[in-house]
Chains A and B, each alone.
Chain A
C-alpha cells in the first residue's frame, strides 16, 4: 500500500481547494447576475413578473441545495442531455445563490425611503432610471455587508457538489480518506481549509458593516 505523508494529504487537499474557490466565484458572479434580474422582476410593476420571481425564490429557498444538484445532474441526463458534473454543479449553485441574493437585495431596495422614489418620479425619471441613479446606489451601501456575509454560505454550499462527483475540496477529502484510512486527519484538514476560506469573508462582512454604518454614505 502506498504511504501518504501529512504533506501529501495537505497538498492534495489544497490542489482540490482551487476548484472550491473557482466554483464559489462562478456561483457568486453568476448568482449575482441572475439575482439582479430576479430582483428587478420581484419589484416590477407587472404582477406576473412579481409572481414569477416570488415563485422562483420560494422554490430555490424552499428545497435543499442537495436536491437541486441531484435534479440538475440526473434530471437533465434523464432527458437525454449529458451534463458534466462541473456544469450541473455551476448551474445549480448559480440558481440557488441568485434566489438568496435577490431576496437580500430586495430588502435593501425596500429599505430606501418612499420619498426617494417619489422625488425621482416627480422629476420625470422612469423606473429603470430611478433604480439606476437613485435607489441602487443607496441600496448598494446597505447591501454590501449581508452580501459578503452570504458569500460564506456559497463557499460552504460548494461542498455539496461532491455528491454528484465534482472533485473539489470535500470530494478530495473523501477520496483521500478512502486511500489513507485516516478520516479524522483528512477531514480535520478539510475543515481547516474551509475555515481559512470563510473566516476572512465573515470578518470582512463585520468590518464592512461597521465601516458603512459609521460613514453612512460613500464619499
Chain B
C-alpha cells in the first residue's frame, strides 16, 4: 500500500473543472515535484490532499487516513500531512518558538515543556534555534519560511506538502530554504512539492509529475522527464522555463 493514494480525483470551481481525474500513488520516502503551467491544477491538487479544498469525486488517502469533509476526519488527515505555503503564513502575534509550539499544545495537547523542547529541536533543525523569541516581522522571508517548516515538522507528519514555497522569496534567500528541504529529503521525509525550481527538482526528486489542463500529463524519474520529454506540451513547458 502506498503512503499517499490519490484516486480519480476531480475538482471543479463552478463550471471550471480544474482537476479532471488525477491518479497518483506516493511511496514512503519519495520526493515528488509537481510542475506545470499556472492554472494546470498543481496547487489545487496539493490543497486537496490535506483538505483545504473539497473534492468533487474520487478519493485521497494518506497513511490510512481518508479525506472526508467532517472535522474529525480532516484533523486525522492533517496530523499525517503538514503543509507549507508560498506566503509562509506564520502567526504574526506569536514568536517563532510560539508558532512552533501552538499547534502541538492545542491539537495534540502536548504539555508546554515538551512542546517547547520540540520547538527548540525543530528550530535548530532548520538552523534558527537562536531566533526562538523573534517575531515573524523581525525575520527575513527565508527565515520565516524555515520557521514554517519547523512548525509543520513539530507535528511529526509522515509527509509534507510544499506549495511553491520559494516563489515569494528574494532570489538570494531561495537556497537557504531549499537546503532545508534537501536535508529533509535525505532524511527520508516524503515530500510533495509544487515548484518552479527545475534544477532542484532534477537534483533532489525521485519522480516528477507534469500537470497539464487538470491531468497528469507525464510522470517519471527526473532524468526521463527532463532529459527525454515525450509530449509536445512538456517540451514546450521546459523550453519556456529553461
Which of A's residues lie within 8 Å of B, judged by CB? 113, 115-116, 118-127, 129, 133-134, 137-138, 141, 216-219
Shortest 9 CB-CB distances between A and B: which pairs?
A119-B89, A123-B103, A115-B89, A122-B83, A124-B107, A124-B78, A124-B75, A129-B106, A124-B79
Known: A125-B106, A127-B71. A217 touches B50 (CB 8 A): no
Number of B residues near A (Cβ < 8 Å) is 28
A123–B89 CB distance below 8 A: no
| 6 more A-B residue pairs beyond the given contacts A124-B155, A134-B102, A138-B93, with a C-beta to C-beta distance below 8 A | A115-B89, A119-B83, A122-B78, A122-B85, A124-B78, A133-B102
Q: Is the CB of B91 within 8 A of A134?
A: yes
Q: Please name the residue on chain B nearest to A127 by beta carbon.
A: B71
Any A CB within 8 A of the CB of B151 = yes
B135 at the interface (CB under 8 A from A): yes
CA distance A119 to B90 in the complex (A): 8
Would you give the shortest CB distance from A217 to chain B, in whole angstroms? 6
Q: How far is the CB of B29 from chain A (nearest CB, A)?
A: 22
Interface residues of B in 32-61 (CB under 8 A from A): 50-52
Min CB distance, B205 to chain A, in Å?
22
Q: Which residues of B have CB within 8 Å of A125?
A: 103, 106-107
Known: A118-B52, A119-B89, A138-B92. A133 touches B82 (CB 8 A): no
- Chain B residues near A113 (CB-CB < 8 A): 87, 89
* Interface check B96, CB cutoff 8 A: no
Contact check, A218 vs B103: say whether CB atoms are below 8 A apart: no
Chain B residues near A123 (CB-CB < 8 A): 78, 82, 102-103, 107, 151-152, 155
Q: B135 touching A217 by the CB < 8 A rule?
A: yes
A217 adjacent to B93 (CB under 8 Å):
yes
Q: Is the CB of B106 within 8 A of A133?
A: yes
Shortest A47–chain B CB gap in Å is: 14
CB distance B89 to A116 under 8 Å? yes
A215 shortest CB reach to chain B, Å: 11
A122 nearest in chain B by CB position:
B83
- Report A210 CB to chain B, min CB distance, Å: 19
A121 in contact with B78 (CB, 8 Å): yes
Across-interface contacts of A122 in B (CB, < 8 A): 50, 52, 78, 82-83, 85, 152
Interface CB pairs A-B, < 8 A, 5? A119-B148, A125-B106, A126-B71, A217-B137, A218-B93
The answer to whether A115 and B93 have CB atoms under 8 Å apart is no
Mark out the residues of chain B between 128 and 174 whose CB falls within 8 Å of any chain A CB in the assembled complex.
135, 137, 148, 151-152, 155
The distance in angstroms between the C-alpha atoms of A217 and B94, with both chains bound, is 9
Residue of B nearest to A135 (CB): B91
Q: Which residue of B lies closest to A218 (CB)?
A: B93
Residues of chain B lying within 8 A (CB to CB) of residue A138: 91-93
Q: Are B87 and A120 in contact (CB under 8 A)?
A: no
Determine the distance from Cα of A141 to Cα of B93 in the docked complex, in whole angstroms.
10
Known A-B contacts A124-B103, A129-B107, A217-B135; the reply to A119 vs B75 at CB < 8 A is no
What CA separation (Å) do A81 and B93 show in the bound complex?
49
Bound CA–CA A123/B156 (angstroms): 10
Tell me the minimal C-beta distance from A109 to chain B in angstroms. Answer: 14
Query: In the complex, A133 Cα to B91 Cα: how many Å?
Result: 10
**In the complex, A119 Cα to B71 Cα: how many Å?**
15
Q: Is B78 a contact of A119 with CB atoms below 8 Å?
A: no
Contacts of A216 in B (CB 8 A): 137
Q: How far is the CA of A126 from the CA of B106 in the complex (A)?
A: 9
